Amino acid sequence: MSKKRVHIVPHTHWDKEWYFTASRSKVYLMRQVQEIMEVLTNNPSYTSFLLDGQTSLVEDYLRYYPEHEALLKELIRTKRLLIGPWYTQTDQLVISAESIVRNLYYGIKGAQQLGHAMSVGYAPDAFGQGANMPQIYQHFGIDTLLFWRGIADDRLAQLEFIWEGADSSQVLANQMYFAYYYGLNIPQNPDTLVDYIDSVIPPLEARASSEVLYFPSGGDQSAIQANLVEVVSAMNQKDPSRDYCLSNPEQFFDELKQSAQNLPIIKGEMIEGKNSRIHKSIYSTRADLKQANNRIENQLTNVLEPLLAISFSLGNRYPHKEIEEIWKLLFENAAHDSIGGCNSDETNQDIKGRYKLAEDLVKNLLDLHMREIAMAIQQNQKYALTIYNTLPYQRSSILETDLYIPDGDFKLVDEAGNELAYSILSKVDQSDYLLNQFAYLTPHLYRKEMGDQYIPDKVYFARLQIAVPEVPAMGYCQLYLLPDEPGLLASPLEINDDHWIENEHYRVQYDPERNSFSVTHKASNVSYDRQFVLLDNGDDGDSYNYSPPREDWVLSSETDAQNIQIIAEKNQLGDSLLLSYDLILPADLKQRAAKIQSVTVPVTQRISLRQGEKIVRVGLTVDNLAKDHRMCLHQSTNIQTDQSIADKLFGVETMDMRHSAMDYWQEDKWTEAPIAINPLQSFVALSDQQATVAVMTEGVREYEIVGEHYSNIQLTLFRCFGYMGKENLVYRPGRASGEKIVATPDAQLLGTLNFEVAVAYEDSSFDEVAIAKLSKEYLTPLQQYELTDFLNGRTIFKKNMPAKTLAPHYSLLDFAESDVILSTLKKSELGDNLVYRVYNPFIQKEVSLEGVIKETDVAVGLDEVTQLARPQHLTHNQFQTFVRK
């Protein structure tokens, strides 16, 4: 019988921030990397060290010590220092699919530039594994995975298996069942090695189905064990029945591929916390930071990058370095602790600062490139509005936007002179500021060929709704504001005491008896009662886990609201019901247990319908004055089905309403309860053959299906808690996760909180309607840039006038004939070609790529280089990336 071969892999798991700040981590990283270089340089027998699969760690080091670049490159090139494939050790469930792809892209690219990118999917501490990760790994040329968390031992009885993704892609996986720190403290004294070996190796062998064992020697922020070569030699001497070797993940898998046979196949998402905690409700920790992340991701991938592609196609420079900086700021925040919010308040303040910087860069890059295009369009109007559509099909929409408008009457017209309806929702006089800013500067001639500038007597900063028709696919069109011309179609905002609003698709009725709403789907005449209800219960959890109090009390906007007021705001472009009330809540868990209501929490709900839209918009403002509680939006659907539907990584997944292990998880010694709180990307739906109801969000990506018949969608808005870690939770017994002494008062989220969601109601099954498309449109509003003489001043920076060479309308590409969802459109990093990525948004329905791909388009991997077979259609959860010349 051949010897078992034990691959001892020295490594560190480097959290870039956690209960400590990024600055503290970085200071110690400098010393750790120096020690690693010293040990590897001085001892050629120390074959390799794994630097947590994060390229960013070396980038951080080289910012301070660029003189060591040559040595680091040599160690990386010879695979003695292993970095990549990640830029940072990202979460896979809370962030967007594009964030995961770009994290790997920049991680691999940076590692290759330094000498070598580790070709193993390495996720030592991610809180669960996303269902489509095998396809993502495969499209980067990665066919192996090392991980710890997410799979229960009743699903997998061994270490090695084939993980099959949502689209049937497969990778060879090895679970670090006893965690990435299992071999952290190998004894230095040879006399104690035998007892140590007897305690740690047999448990690995008992779960292994091959002759090859992975033994990680390291842990959180651990330094390199300088004498590990001698220790491994001693292990071989003390235990000649096995072969111990210093190794790395690539060498381990090279041997595992030869040894492993007849491996079981595990399919789909891995988010089970039986043997290792996955902190399922971390999706809603620090809702404010989650909102910032999701808002920036959507703006970056849905709006900015496509608009930059349009701008590049029209001759402007594509800002690769600026985009890379934005992504890397997001990657710093996407690391599993950082995005989880399971940190000290001080660390979360740093995270918030990075979001601020990233969002500013997104906003200003968008503004600059919209301006570059608008200024080059052939037109000579006093006011020109360039409307941008960053979806790959023509759109007509009600655009709600901010404009600077002149005093008096004005008309809005399209390029052909057709008058457009608009409504002024609000306006504020900013004449003194804007006109003085303009007068302060030497006027920069926007319309030099026309002579005088246009400067109105008064300028208002206004919020408008505009009915914008037929904006070209992935392109722009022009509208013109004509001062001093009456806008015959202008609709004033009417405020009354109606309890209803409606558009072509829905009628929404306020129910004063329940303080909630009903929505009638006009085409089917089906009504849904108890809509947009707020439920509030206690949260005895911490920064890792929501956990109900042992003495909970659920309160509701239907039963616990006072001082209720409702008004209607209506115009021909859209209606709103504005409901305000005070929700009376317990101040804390002690009061909740005693059923005492002492805190008044003001709530405002704005339920809106826009002309032509098939969604109901729900805006919420909550002035949170209570602690240790959770607030959810509750939607009754009357749809009884076995599974929920939510979009995940490049597709949709169905999820069971309840995990069967909830009946016995404590007896079976799960590390945490297998609750059915699940993640999403942008929407969750319930559907049967007759109807579909979907809730869409840019906020917290967390939902649960509740109710006696599991027919109600519950979307988490926010949760509040006061400590990083707590012991003996109802849903997580035993030790605290994180640091129990770290108080987190910021995580109580006291103050004003704002939320935006949308709900769609359809009279067909999920695969027969376009929920993913509706969600994409909701998260990708039309953009506009206002061009007029008096704004070219200090308020937006002066800019020279380019030649006016562009047509008044333009379309870069059009996918209207296909049901695919466009995930990204950008300029390639490797040349002047465009890269686009599309995916199938249905459960069983195939989508054709006819009308999407051109004859010259090339299907490529996520590295944008490796050429793949070009598909003609995409099945469930398949995505594909193309290069277009």
- Is residue 190 situated within a structural domain? yes
What CA–CA distance (Å, rounded) separates 319 from 341?
31
Q: Give me the residue label for tokens 């952290």.
A: 184
User: Do residues 733 and 746 make contact, with C-beta atoms less than 8 angstroms apart?
Assistant: no
The residue segments making up the domain with residue 71 are: 4-278
- Is residue 764 situated within a structural domain? no
Structural domain ending residue among the three candidates 251, 278, 305: 278
- Is residue 147 situated within a structural domain? yes
pLDDT at 449 over 90: no
- Is residue 111 situated within a structural domain? yes
What CA–CA distance (Å, rounded) separates 96 from 92?
8
Average confidence (pLDDT) over 817-821:
95
pLDDT at 197 over 60: yes
pLDDT at 441 over 60: no
Residue 454: the pLDDT is 79
- Is residue 440 situated within a structural domain? no
Over residues 209-242, the pLDDT tens digits come to: 999 999 999 999 999 999 999 999 999 999 999 9
- DSSP per-residue letters across 682-748: SEEEEE-SS-EEEEEESS--EEEEETTTT-EEEEEEEE--SBS--SS-SSS-SSPSS-TT-B-GGGG
Residue 799: the pLDDT is 72
- Is residue 869 situated within a structural domain? yes
What CA–CA distance (Å, rounded) separates 578 from 796?
34
Residue 199: the pLDDT is 96
pLDDT at 448 over 60: no
Q: State the distance between the two ends of the chain, measured CA to CA, in whole angstroms.
A: 58
- Is residue 49 situated within a structural domain? yes
Over residues 533-559, the pLDDT tens digits come to: 999 999 999 999 999 999 999 999 999
Helix (H, G, I), strand (E, B) or coil at 200: helix
* Structure tokens that stand for 701 in this block: 């990506």
Average confidence (pLDDT) over 642-667:
95
Q: Around Cβ 562, how many Cβ atoms within 10 Å?
A: 11
Phi, psi of 284 (to 5 degrees): -110, 5
Helix (H, G, I), strand (E, B) or coil at 58: helix
Phi, psi of 461 (to 5 degrees): -90, 115
Q: Helix (H) and strand (E) counts for the chain?
A: 16, 44
Q: Give me the residue label for tokens 């206002």.
A: 786
Q: How confident is the model at residue 794 (pLDDT cuts 50, 70, 90)?
A: low
What CA–CA distance (Å, rounded) separates 792 from 805?
20
Residue 493: the pLDDT is 87
Over residues 369-397, the pLDDT tens digits come to: 999 999 999 998 989 999 999 999 999 99
What's at 130, amino acid-wise?
G
pLDDT at 684 over 90: yes
Q: Which residues pair with 465 in a beta bridge?
A: 400, 423
Structural domain ending residue among the three candidates 257, 278, 299: 278
Total tally of structural domains belonging to the chain = 2
What distances in angstroms separate CA 472 from CA 316, 376, 379, 666, one per listed residue?
20, 18, 18, 57
Burial per residue of 648-670, b for 16 or more beta-carbon CB atoms within 10 angstroms, e otherwise = bbbbbbebebebebeeebeeeeb
Share of the chain above pLDDT 90, in %: 92
What CA–CA distance (Å, rounded) separates 325 from 606?
36
Q: Give me the residue label for tokens 């896979």.
A: 92
Q: How confident is the model at residue 185 (pLDDT cuts 50, 70, 90)?
A: confident
Residue 450: the pLDDT is 41
Largest CA-CA distance found in the chain, in angstroms, rounded: 95
pLDDT at 86 over 70: yes
What CA–CA distance (Å, rounded) separates 221 from 125?
13
Residue 445: the pLDDT is 43
CATH number at residue 876: 2.60.40.2220
Phi, psi of 253 (to 5 degrees): -70, -30
Residue 318: the pLDDT is 98
pLDDT at 658 over 60: yes
How many residues appear in the chain?
885
Over residues 575-584, the pLDDT tens digits come to: 999 999 999 9
CATH number at residue 135: 3.20.110.10
pLDDT at 443 over 60: no
DSSP type of residue 303 = I
* Max mean pLDDT range (78-87, 420-429, 785-794): 78-87
Q: Around Cβ 360, how many Cβ atoms within 10 Å?
A: 11
Residue 509: the pLDDT is 98
Helix (H, G, I), strand (E, B) or coil at 60: helix
Cα–Cα nearest to 275, from 155, 405, 133: 155
Cα–Cα nearest to 627, from 658, 601, 662, 655: 601
What CA–CA distance (Å, rounded) separates 553 from 407?
54
Share of the chain above pLDDT 70, in %: 98
What CA–CA distance (Å, rounded) separates 837 from 651?
12
Over residues 248-301, the pLDDT tens digits come to: 999 999 999 999 999 999 999 999 999 999 999 999 999 999 999 999 999 999
Q: Which residues pair with 527 in a beta bridge?
A: 520
Structural domain ending residue among the three candidates 260, 278, 296: 278
Q: How confident is the model at residue 452 (pLDDT cuts 50, 70, 90)?
A: low
Average confidence (pLDDT) over 791-810:
82
Q: How confident is the model at residue 6 (pLDDT cuts 50, 70, 90)?
A: very high
Cα–Cα nearest to 847, from 167, 310, 100: 167
What CA–CA distance (Å, rounded) separates 174 from 151?
11
**Nearby residues of 675 by Cβ (< 8 Å), 6 or more positions away:** 280, 281, 659, 662, 704, 731
- Is residue 22 situated within a structural domain? yes
Residue 793: the pLDDT is 64
What's at 391, amino acid-wise?
L
Over residues 149-172, the pLDDT tens digits come to: 999 999 999 999 999 998 889 999
